Amino acid sequence: MIARHVAIAAAVYGAVVVQTNPILNSVLRPMNPWLPGIVLATCLLRCDRLTCLTWSAILGLAIDCLTTERLGIDFTIAVLITGIGLVCFRDDRPEGFLPKGLAVFCVTLIWQICRSLVHGLGRHPSLDVGELVLASGGVALVTTLLASIPLQIHQILRYANRSRTPASALSLNNRWTMLTR
């Protein structure tokens, strides 16, 4: 339990630092990914409800503090997305590559649209919604592609480990194993 909290804390810290670091930003700017979206989606898929809400609030607050706008905007958006996610994944958390990617995409897309709307409406009374959705979709897509890299590596490693299992290690009295071999 503590290890999980430490891992999420590290992920939140890492995402915030990387997202705001000018050196890494200059590298990532052409792609413009939204790393907090990955962290929030991961929380939604792997943590229990209260942990998820707590860390989404901390993540939102951290991002709020790094902007010059009023506090509470990203905080509320992050908690709101988590609430929606918890309702959607009420019974079971999705497994597999595609649902996880979809979760990252949706979380990032909603977050980007909401924050662009809130920040944008504060500055200009009129906004081009189509352009906004397109830009947010682009960011969400890039973020999903970025998130897919560790997922793919994880899948490959798992497959490699399974295929490397020596034949002698298999239990002979395991009926299922015998049948499938």
Partner 1 sequence: MKPQAAVMFGCLMLVGAGLYFAPDSAAARLRGAVLDTIRPGQQGIRVAAESMLERWTLPNGLASKTPASEVERLSKALADEKQKNRILQIRLAELNDQLLLQQQGSSAIKRFPPLLKPSLIETAVLGDAIAEQWRGGKLIDFGAKNGIREHELVLSSKSSNRALIDIGEDSRIVPEDALLLGRAVIGKVEHVGRWTSTFLLVTDPRYRGRAQLIRETDAGFVFESQGLLKGQGGPLCRLDGIPAEKSVHIHDAVYTADRDGSRPVPLYYGEVVEASLGIDDREWTVLVKPIEVPTPLTKVSILRMTVNPDRLETE
Return residues touching partner 1 (CB under 8 A). 13-14, 16-18, 20-21, 23-24, 49-50, 53-54, 57, 60-62, 64-66, 70-73, 75-76, 79-80, 82-83, 86-87, 90, 123-126
| Integer Cα distance of 12 and 18 in angstroms | 10
Cα 167 to its chain centre, rounded Å, is 38
Nearest distance, CB of residue 167 and partner 1, angstroms: 44
Find the angle CA(141)-CA(49)-CA(51) to the nearest 5 degrees. 90
61 or 151, CB closer to partner 1? 61
66 or 134, CB closer to partner 1? 66
Nearest distance, CB of residue 164 and partner 1, angstroms: 33
Nearest distance, CB of residue 71 and partner 1, angstroms: 4
Nearest distance, CB of residue 137 and partner 1, angstroms: 23
25 or 177, CB closer to partner 1? 25
Query: What are the tokens at 129?
Result: 């919604």
92 or 167, CB closer to partner 1? 92
37 or 85, CB closer to partner 1? 85
73 or 144, CB closer to partner 1? 73
Find the angle CA(64)-CA(114)-CA(106) to the nearest 5 degrees. 105
Nearest distance, CB of residue 45 and partner 1, angstroms: 16
Nearest distance, CB of residue 61 and partner 1, angstroms: 7
With b for 16 or more beta-carbon neighbours within 10 A and e for fewer, the 93-126 pattern comes to eeeeeeebbebbbbbbbbbbbbbbeeeeeeeeee
Residues whose CB falls within 8 Å of the CB of residue 83, separated by 6 or more in sequence, listed in order: 53
